[in-house]
Structure 1
Amino acid sequence: MKILCYGDSNTWGFDREHNCRIQQRWTKVLQSLCAKDEIIEAGLNGRTTTFDDPYNEHRNGRKTLPVLLKQHQPLDMLIIMLGTNDLKNVFHASEFAIAKGIRELIRITRNPYLYEFDYKPPKILVVVPAPIHPDYKENESIMADFGDRGYEISLKLKDTYKDITDEYQCEYLNAGDFICAHNFDCVHISEESHIILAQKIKEKIEEIRIQEGL
């Protein structure tokens, strides 16, 4: 299968503790676990679902997704893991607004006019990002960017995302069921969590492969 992984810094593999890119990021680990598949990395630090960041240009996921879908067609699967940056105070978005952003990305992906020849829209797996770590109040920069409200909403995304994926019959995986954000900065996940996430996504891919005969 050809799989596009669309996400933010937790897909790009940002390691804030060491200010570098994690080599054992989940997309790379997933490629090693799914050796016969083609895993395409499309992570961007600061990417949102549909919001324009006034401080960082070109972070709106809605605007860049169509280009990537056309560039890499034909695709068998799209994995979306976004929403953490939507929690920032600057957007003041509710859990419902963030879930609507995911809905918009699903709608874009399902648009048949994006695809040439007889290519069809890919299967969609939505991964709910791990919530903000509860130690966030001890980190001044994270507290300033996300605050109490961002933390509380991060805990609610698993439910609003599930409603959207049920409505649009997409595959669903809640990362918070098995990993958490690193307590160093309370937003990014550790290398160990990347490895666990890759394994769980691989298991989900195998389920989908059997269901769809891929």
Structure 2
Amino acid sequence: MTFGDSNTHGTPPMPVRDSYGRLPAGVRWPTVTDAALGPQWALIEEGLPGRTTNRNCPDMGPHMNGQTGLRIALESHGPIDLLVVMLGTNDLQAKFGATAQMVTGGMASLLSIAHSTEYQTRHDGFQILMVCPPPVIECGTFGRDFYLGASKSADLPMHYAALADTWGVHFLNAGQFIKASPIDGVHFDADAHVALGHAIADKIATL
């Protein structure tokens, strides 16, 4: 199961606010990963635009809190063998005032849920791959929303890698393979989705 925000949902770079689009299957990264892994795998896509690690959004609503969403997803689907989590971008919005360490704490709260006896037993055990999203760019459509986000997101890989090591989960830094689009500073274009999908498939193949 892939669990994330708009970049897991497949939202393309947005030249204007409040528009909705979604890249097609075969282009968005979870489906690229699924195809690369082969027919023995079955994909569950759980990407919600606006989702945070553990923050209630004052504009979009409390359901953007990833703690709520992860519990729902783990109780809606199953059994699963692998959970791929990529979150943290939305937490970097200036309105939340979160530091890189605070965003990492939000990710830790999700690992705590996923590692709980309740959900590990429910699914007869599953592995976790934590993916750090690439740095945001303070430009384009959402540049002002992510004021100071570039420097904070640049620190996330270091903190996420340490967190993954502490929890004993697998880790991949998406920023080593792709960049956010300068159109809006946060979303991935089609080529980046394909590149990330293959990078994650290669990582999963080694687990």
When the two structures are superposed, what TM-score results if normalisation uses the length of structure 1? 0.89
- Gap regions ≥5 residues in structure 2: none
Aligned to 1:70: 75
CA distance in 2, matches of 1:93, 1:158: 16
Answering whether residue 44 of structure 2 is matched by residue 40 of structure 1, we say yes
Answering whether residue 205 of structure 2 is matched by residue 206 of structure 1, we say yes
Tell me the alpha carbon deviations over residues 90-132 of structure 1, each in whole angstroms, 9 at most, x when there is no partner: 1100101100111110110111123566x43310000000111
The counterpart of 1:52, out of the listed 39, 51, 56, is 56
CA distance in 2, matches of 1:121, 1:62: 19
Work out whether residues 181 and 188 of structure 2, in 8 Å CA contact, stay in contact via their aligned partners in 1: yes
C-alpha spacing 1:169/1:142, structure 2 compared with 1 (3 Å): same
CA distance in 2, matches of 1:130, 1:31: 21
Work out whether residues 37 and 205 of structure 2, in 8 Å CA contact, stay in contact via their aligned partners in 1: no
Report how many aligned residue pairs link the two structures.
199
Over 3 Å off, 4+ runs: 114-117
Aligned to 1:5: 2
Residue type matched to 1:98 in 2? V
Give the root-mean-square deviation of aligned CA atoms: 1.5
CA distance in 1, matches of 2:103, 2:151: 13
SS of 1:66's equivalent in the other structure is helix
CA distance in 2, matches of 1:125, 1:10: 16
Tell me the alpha carbon deviations over residues 11-39 of structure 1, each in whole angstroms, 9 at most, x when there is no partner: 00001248420111001111211232011
Between the two proteins, what is the percent identity of the paired residues? 34
- Gap regions ≥5 residues in structure 1: 209-214
**1:131-170 alignment, distance < 5 Å:** 131-133=135-137, 136-137=138-139, 139=140, 141-147=141-147, 149-170=148-169
Residue type matched to 1:198 in 2? G
CA distance in 1, matches of 2:185, 2:121: 42
Tell me the alpha carbon deviations over residues 144-177 of structure 1, each in whole angstroms, 9 at most, x when there is no partner: 2111x11110101001101110100110000001
**1:107-118 alignment, distance < 5 Å:** 107-114=112-119
Answering whether residue 105 of structure 2 is matched by residue 100 of structure 1, we say yes
Aligned to 1:82: 87
What displacement does 1:66 show?
Answer: 1.1
Farther off after superposition, 159-168 or 30-39: 30-39
Work out whether residues 111 and 121 of structure 1, in 8 Å CA contact, stay in contact via their aligned partners in 2: no
What displacement does 1:205 show?
Answer: 0.6
The structure, 1 or 2, with the larger RCO (C-alpha pairs under 8 Å, 6+ apart) is 2
SS of 2:181's equivalent in the other structure is coil
Work out whether residues 70 and 115 of structure 1, in 8 Å CA contact, stay in contact via their aligned partners in 2: no
CA distance in 2, matches of 1:25, 1:13: 5
The counterpart of 2:33, out of the listed 30, 33, 41, is 30
